[in-house]
Amino acid sequence: MKNSIVLIAFLGLLSCNINPNNNEQEVSGVSISDNTYNIETSQSQIIWTGRELSTSSHYGSLNFVSGTFEVLDGVIVGGEFIVDMTSINNQDMEGGSKERLEGHLKSDDFFSVDTHPTATLSINSSELISEGKWSISADLSIKGYTHPVNFEMISSEQGWSANLVFDRSKYDVRFRSGTFFENLGDKLIYDDIELSINLTTL
């Protein structure tokens, strides 16, 4: 049987409230079976969004290299998701503008994909909050930097969902960051980073 996972997180390269893939509906959790769940990478995808101080915003996608997580005694006990950072794609522009933004996001100003082609989210443990809802403790690794993150995952009739917020400046993503530069005015790009991740399990 196939499950779908939706992981939602903050990637503050730019946070977008016009992203058609955003889903802010309240979801009721449902119980799940103990199992090791592997994702189907061809059917799984991350949607990133972002916002500047000027309210300019963009969104796009990222693909997975692999992903797995384990449920034991009703608790998510571990897991690892590897993301292909070279697959960064913009979905709200076309032509030369789209290509320039994608190239910029892949450059050393942002994610340095030539030297750091993957990012990793490693689940360490979880606590059951209520039926079908867990508080997750994990480590997020980007550009060779690793920091702890916490978020909630929910198993619902529609699949899985999660919310995650982290600070891009901790991963040396410096471009127009107020953490590294002063007097940016309306050129400032927020440090909070946001993702909406769709996963389908085998």
Kindly state the average pLDDT of the residues 65-78: 95
Give the model's pLDDT for residue 26.
58
Predicted confidence band of residue 81 (pLDDT cuts 50, 70, 90)? very high
Res. 41: pLDDT tops 70: yes
Q: For the chain, what is the radius of gyration of the CA atoms?
A: 17
pTM, entire model: 0.81
Give the model's pLDDT for residue 119.
96
Kindly state the average pLDDT of the residues 150-176: 81
| CATH number of the domain located at residue range(s) 4-200 in this protein | 2.40.128.110
For the chain, the structural domain boundaries read 4-200
Contacts of 100 (CB under 8 A, 6+ apart): none
More confident residue, 43 or 144: 144
Contacts of 147 (CB under 8 A, 6+ apart): 139, 140, 166, 170, 171
Res. 142: pLDDT tops 50: yes
